[in-house]
A and B are shown apart, each in its own frame.
Chain A
Amino acid sequence: MRPGDTDVAHEGPGVSSRVMGAGRSGTLHQASPQEWSCDGGFATLCWALYFHESGSQGPDASNPETRAHSMNEGILLQGVTKTYSRGGEELRVLDNLDLTMDEGRFYALMGPSGSGKTTLLNLVGGLDLPDSGSVQVAGQDIRSLRGAALSAWRARSVGFVFQGFNLIPVLSALENVALPLALTPLSRKERRQHALAALDLVDLGDRAGHRPGQLSGGQEQRVAIARAIVTDPKVLLCDEPTGDLDRAAADQVLALLQRLNGEMKKTVLMVTHDAAAAARAQRIVHLDKGRLGSIEEVQAEQAAGAKP
């Protein structure tokens, strides 16, 4: 698909504004027509088209009630406790934790090693379940889901980005990105288009055929981000996404996360050790020994100043 194709040429901006909808209005539908020709613009265009086509899969669209009745479309933790037992010894990793994160915000989660950051992220992503307390993500109470339902919810509602990238080494960048789409009713061709659009969005459209081993760490992580957003989840969960990257690559990844948060209204929760990385977020949550330390509002200038 090219920008000149009839569908796109006729419907481009219209689709985007219709698709992005009232609650999702962002910078995208305000883009002027000439911006469509630039790489990112083209990608976002395809993206918008994808929203349009597969919008019915989103939890919000398929279940309007959930949306209307829920108080918070962000992330809501109430009295969350998680214990691991190791060698007969009980280890309380999260201790009666209450935490609210607003929809469409960019959060950094900081804390010393072993303070339970990864555990928290796993609970929010439904990879693990708390011993007690409730976890609500985008209006969905995760503890009410089990097995296949939990997997299905995960597939459409959250995207994961890991420190170690976790791409499948035997698949090309494009195939890696297209992987989550195998769970959607999209046709082969559509899946390919969406995956290409997601790759374009992270500026790696020209590396579609490369295997992870042929990419740099920064490129691998951007492919992983493309994979995390290809199903258009509302929430992005990133566990030290820049931990294995050098400064320049880390900056690119952080800029990308900022853009996804700014332009596409993703709620981003990013675990990091790095104060400079955390400064790119809007709020910093400090975790200490399983308890909430403080929530720090990042100064607008600080965040803006960190932008390239």
Chain B
Amino acid sequence: MSLLRLVPRQLLRHPLRTLLTIGSLTVAIFLLCILRSLVTTLDATATTARNDRLWVQSAVSLFVGMPAWYPDRIAQVDGVQSVARWQWFGGYYQDPSNFFAQFAVDPQKVVDMYPELVVVEGSADAFVAGRNCCMIGRGIANDFGWKVGDIAPITGALFPHPDGADKAWELEVAAIYEPGARNFDDRTLFFHWKLFEETLTTPENSPGVGAMVVRVKDDVDPSLVMGAVDDLFMDGPQRVQTTTESEFQAQFVSMFGNIPFFVSAIGGGVLAAVLLACINTMLMAAREQRREVGVLKALGFSDAKVGSVLLMQSLFLTLVGGGMGMLLSKGIEPSVVAATSSFMPGFLIERETYLMAFIITVLAGVLAGLLPAWSTRKLTVVAALGARD
């Protein structure tokens, strides 16, 4: 009979209290993992974006188009390797709630400029070759059950099909990609600019360009190119704003304002509250086990051994609770990815986050256990057994 056997037995003495304490830790560690991951994901998005890709948009707003001849003009600027047109399509599949990002792009250029789009089914060449073809992320392929060769019918909310608002744009899935870096999500659809432009062009009207991505030549300073492009249209017809891709994405991040700070504050607050709950539980346990502490000491167990029974109870509580919290976050991660991909691609719970959660779990256990363990250390046998019974 080792003293360790006392640990689970004492915890089972009040199953509800044990369960509630474990539960509160589970929730706290779960929240901590998710909240910290929101912060690290925003960070990573901004830092993994590259500086040799520049985004050009209208100086007025991201949602105002630029004249169709701008790309050719920009391509002539010194230091520019290539220019790809990007147009936010804003459609949906079957129902507006099936929302995901679609872009009309120059396919070859996007494939060349974005090595992080790793094609895992079909081929990039097939995507580039077919005017009606599209390339989709693994996430939407899974969501809608689309395979290579299937037709993806996308209803154009911003750009209704000219044959009728009910008619979907029919795009053939030619490639499925997975993101090779965290600045990209796996829930984007790319289709041909050519199809987009030709479908919408009427004798009176042709679509403008929403945004462009400029690939800077390898040995050229991106800031020089940025200045040159901005200067190009200083006097009209429409001024543009050029930023590096990292700044471009940071612009979305800054839309969240002080969120990282609040997120950390909330996480810290939740933890402190739960730590107090654990300490309270352990103090209650220590009070109940006072007499038993006295018995163990009378039998000749050292203060350290008797104290460790309490410490172990505390560690057991927090490790089970924390472990379940981590498992829960791991299990829920895919849902968070799906829910946040449109505005924050690449949600990921990093290994460091789990490590941090684990360390916090252990620290909470030690902290909550140390206090009662210490008080039993000072408790004399005579006092513990109630000298006057």
Binding site for B on A (CB under 8 A): 118-119, 122, 125, 127-128, 148, 151-156, 160, 162-164, 166-171, 174-175, 178-183, 191, 195, 227
Contacts and interface: CB of A to CB of B under 8 A. Distances in A.
B387 A179 contact: no
Contacts of A164: 389
Nearest to B13: A170
Nearest to A179: B1
Nearest to A180: B299
Interface residues of B, number: 27
Interface in B323-373: none
A307 to B, nearest CB: 29
A163 B385 CA distance: 11
B157 interface: no
Contacts of B6: 168, 170-171
Interface in B373-389: 380-382, 385, 387-389
A170 B12 contact: yes
B131 interface: no
Contact of A160 (B2, B298, B388): B298
A300 to B, nearest CB: 33
A191 B1 contact: yes
Given A170-B12, A170-B13, A171-B6, A179 B382 contact: no
Interface stretch (B23-31, B193-201, B289-297): B289-297
Main secondary structure of the interface of B (DSSP, over half): helix
Interface string B1-34: 1110110011011000000000000000000000
Interface of B: 1-3, 5-6, 9-10, 12-13, 291-292, 294-302, 380-382, 385, 387-389
Nearest to A191: B1
Top 8 nearest A-B pairs by Cβ distance? Answer: A155-B300, A178-B1, A170-B9, A127-B381, A154-B300, A151-B300, A175-B1, A166-B295
B389 A171 contact: no
A170 B10 contact: yes
B347 to A, nearest CB: 44
Given A125-B298, A168-B292, A182 B389 contact: no
Nearest to B299: A180
A103 B114 CA distance: 92
A186 to B, nearest CB: 11
Contact of A128 (B10, B291, B301, B382): B382
Contacts of B296: 179
A191 B2 CA distance: 10
Contact of B388 (A118, A151, A183): A118
B12 A183 contact: no
Nearest to B294: A166
Contacts of A174: 1
B297 A151 contact: yes
Given A168-B295, A171-B9, 18 more contacts: A127-B385, A128-B382, A152-B300, A154-B300, A155-B300, A162-B385, A163-B389, A167-B295, A170-B12, A175-B1, A179-B1, A179-B296, A179-B299, A182-B2, A183-B300, A183-B301, A191-B1, A227-B299
